[in-house]
Amino acid sequence: MSLNISDIAPDFILKNANPNQGGETVSLNQAKGENGIVIVFECNHCPYVVASFSRMDAMAEYCGSKGIGYVGINSNDENNYPEDSYENMVKRANKGLPYSYLHDATQQAAQQYGAKRTPEFFLFNSQLELVYQGRMDDSLRCYYSNASGSNAFCSSNRFNRMFC
C-alpha cells in the first residue's frame, strides 16, 4: 500500500523509546499538532539517517514552534538490524532526542504508509491529509551543512514552501 496526496494519515499506537517526549505509547492523535504532523520513518544504522540526525532534531524543534507535531518511526526488523533494536532506540533517545521515537515492531505502520526507505518523510496538514512524501531536502548524503538549526531547515528544505 502507498499513500497518495490528500489521503488521510493511517492511525497508529506504537511503543515510544523516548519517555521524555510523550508517554509509553504514542498514537497519531497524541502526536499531531494543531497545524499537522511530520512523520519520518528512520532508524539507527542507515548512513543517510545518521548523517541527518542533527538536521532532523532541528526540524522537530522548528515544527514544534509552528504547531506541527513530529515523530520518528523505526520499522526495521531488529533480527536483521540489531542496531535498530528497541534497546538501542532507547539509548539514542536518551542522548536528548527532541521527539517521540516510535517502535513499529510488526512493520504495520510502514506498510500502511508505504514507507520504503529511511529517512522517508510524510507531511500532513491540520486535517491529517498528506501534502508531501519523500526526502527531507535535495542534499545527496546530508553529511554536512554550512547552516545550522532551523535556519538550515528553512533555507534548504523542500518543506520551506509549506510552512517556513
82 within some domain: yes
Q: pLDDT confidence of 1, banded at 50, 70, 90?
A: confident
With cell 506504537, the residue in question is 14
Question: What is d(CA 103, CA 109) in angstroms, rounded to the nearest whole number?
Answer: 10
Model pLDDT for residues 7-27, shown as the tens digit of each residue: 999 999 999 999 899 899 999
Query: In whole angstroms, what is the distance from residue 94 CA to residue 112 CA?
Result: 28
Q: Is residue 75 part of a domain?
A: yes
Answer yes or no: are the C-beta atoms of 71 and 119 closer than 8 Å.
Answer: no
Closest CA to 153 of 67, 42, 55: 55
Residue 1 within any structural domain of the chain: no
pLDDT reading at 135 higher than 90: no
pLDDT digits (tens, 9 = 90+) for 63-100: 999 999 999 999 998 999 999 999 999 999 999 999 99
pLDDT tens digits for range 34-68: 999 999 999 999 988 888 889 999 999 999 999 99
Number of structural domains in the chain: 1
Inside any domain, residue 5: no
Helix (H, G, I), strand (E, B) or coil at 110: helix
In angstroms, the Cα distances linking 40 to 119, 120, 137, 146 are 6, 5, 13, 23
Which residues constitute the domain of residue 115?
Answer: 13-163
- 152-162 average pLDDT score: 47
Model-level pTM? 0.86
Does some domain include residue 7? Answer: no
Is residue 135 exposed (0-12), middle (13-18) or buried (19+ Cβ within 10 Å)? middle
Task: Look at residue 63 in the predicted model and tell me its pLDDT.
Answer: 95
Q: Please tell me the predicted confidence (pLDDT) of residue 74.
A: 97
- Contact status, residue 52 vs residue 144, Cβ threshold 8 Å: no
- 2 inside domain: no
Residue at 151 is within a domain = yes
CATH number at residue 63: 3.40.30.10
Q: What are phi and psi of 28, to 5 degrees?
A: -55, -45
Residue 94 within any structural domain of the chain: yes
pLDDT band at 164 (very low <50, low <70, confident <90, very high): very low
Output helix, strand, coil percentages for the chain, rounded to the nearest 5: 30, 25, 45
Average pLDDT, rounded, for the chain:
87
